[in-house]
Amino acid sequence: MIGIETKLSRRSLLCGGLAVGALALFTPGVFAEQLARTPRMTEGPFYPDKLPLDQDNDLIIIGDSLTPAVGEITHLTGRILDINGDPIKNAEIEIWQCDAHQVYLHTSDSIPKKDQQDKNFQGFGRFTTASTGEYRFRTIKPVAYPGRPAAHIHFKIKKGGRELLTSQIFVSGFAGNKRDGIYMDVRDPVDRELVTADFVPIKDSKVGELSARFDVVIGRTPADADGDH
Ligand SMILES: [Fe+2]
């Protein structure tokens, strides 16, 4: 990479003066720092084989039901950004996770465990970002299950029908994290941080709700490059 000084002197020479050269240096984006991309992780075997009728961003209530899902209610929010920190609009984020009784919305899990399943948990939801890149879900704090000692929420980002990223969100400080093969497969602790969120109690919530903030950073796509942000 060319250092600032090298570039400055070369531009000064080319432009015939420091003032013009310095101005040229501050062209937006030229030296913008890039954000670290959210690491890709395995999709796992439980992306729903049959999507639920209700696919909204509230996983606690199915349809008009009055009975909420079992679990610690969590407001999961964040932004979908490109590596320059610009929000990506019209990005679709899907999440899926097992219910509080460790059952996924997938026939290979929900059929054998049908007596165990929380029928009030939606198990899957999606949200499409607007110009701010913000997304929002109401779901439960994820739980561990046999084979996966680290609680996690699976997610997938799509845009314009293309899949851009598949990964997982982990719970900061969760006891099983260090014993989870998939989590520890992300070798660099900094990368592990990038797939980990704090689940914190919401002050004054009478029912013990939590909030978790998780930003997703994906590489630029051809659709982004032509200005469709
Ligand atoms: Fe999983």
Statement to judge: residues 106 and 60 lie in one domain:
yes
pLDDT at 7 over 50: no
45 & 78 share domain? yes
Write the pLDDT tens digit of every residue in 125-155: 999 999 999 999 999 999 999 999 999 999 9
Tell me how far the alpha carbon of residue 26 lies from the centroid of ligand 1, in angstroms.
Answer: 45
Helix (H), strand (E), coil (C) string for the chain: CCCHHHHHHHHHHHHCCHHHHHHHHCCCCCCCCCCCCCCCCCCCCCCCCCCCCCCCCECCCCCCCCCCCCCCEEEEEEEEEECCCCECCCEEEEEECCCCCCCCCCHHHHCCCCCCCCCCCCCEEEEECCCCCEEEEEEECCCCECCECCCEEEEEEEECCEEEEEEEEEECCCCCHHHCHHHHCCCCHHHHHCCEECEEECCCCCCCCEEEECCEEECCCHHHHCCCC
Residues 120 and 217 placed together within one structural domain of the fold: yes
- Based on the fold, state whether residues 90 and 170 are members of the same structural domain: yes
Spacing, Cα 180 to ligand 1 middle (Å): 11
Whether 4 has a pLDDT exceeding 70, the answer reads: no
Q: Ligand 1 centroid vs 152 CA: distance in angstroms?
A: 6
Domain extent at residue 14: 1-31
CA separation for the pair 82, 59 (Å, rounded): 27
pLDDT band at 25 (very low <50, low <70, confident <90, very high): low
In the reported structure, the alpha carbon of residue 112 is separated from the centroid of ligand 1 by a whole-number distance in angstroms of: 17
d(CA 97, ligand 1 centre) in Å: 6
Q: How far apart are CA 42 and CA 182, in angstroms?
A: 8
**Amino acid 27: pLDDT:** 55
Tell me: do 105 and 131 sit in the same domain. yes
User: Are both 178 and 88 inside the same structural domain?
Assistant: yes
Categorize the per-residue pLDDT at 12 as very low, low, confident or very high, splitting at 50, 70 and 90.
Answer: very low
Residues 9 and 93 in one domain: no
How many structural domains is the chain composed of? 2
Determine the distance separating the centroid of ligand 1 and the alpha carbon of 98, expressed in angstroms. 7
- The pLDDT score that the predictor gives to residue 28 is 58
Q: Using one digit for the tens of pLDDT, what is the confidence trace for 67-100?
A: 999 999 999 999 999 999 999 999 999 999 999 9
Centroid of ligand 1 to alpha carbon of 166 (angstroms): 12
We report the CATH number of the domain holding residue 74 as 2.60.130.10
**C-alpha 46 to ligand 1 mean position (Å):** 7
**Residue of 24 and 148 predicted with greater confidence:** 148
* pLDDT tier at 20, thresholds 50, 70, 90: very low
Which pLDDT does position 113 carry in this prediction? 97
Are both 137 and 197 inside the same structural domain? yes
Q: What is the pLDDT of residues 177-227, one digit of tens each?
A: 999 999 999 999 999 999 999 999 999 999 999 999 999 999 865 454 444
The confidence score (pLDDT) of residue 33 equals: 79
The residue with tokens 């639920």 is: 52
Residue 99 and residue 206 in one domain: yes
Same domain, 132 and 110: yes
Query: What spacing in Å lies between the alpha carbon of 169 and ligand 1's midpoint?
Result: 10
Do 94 and 196 lie in one domain? The reply is: yes
Question: 12 and 27 share a domain?
Answer: yes
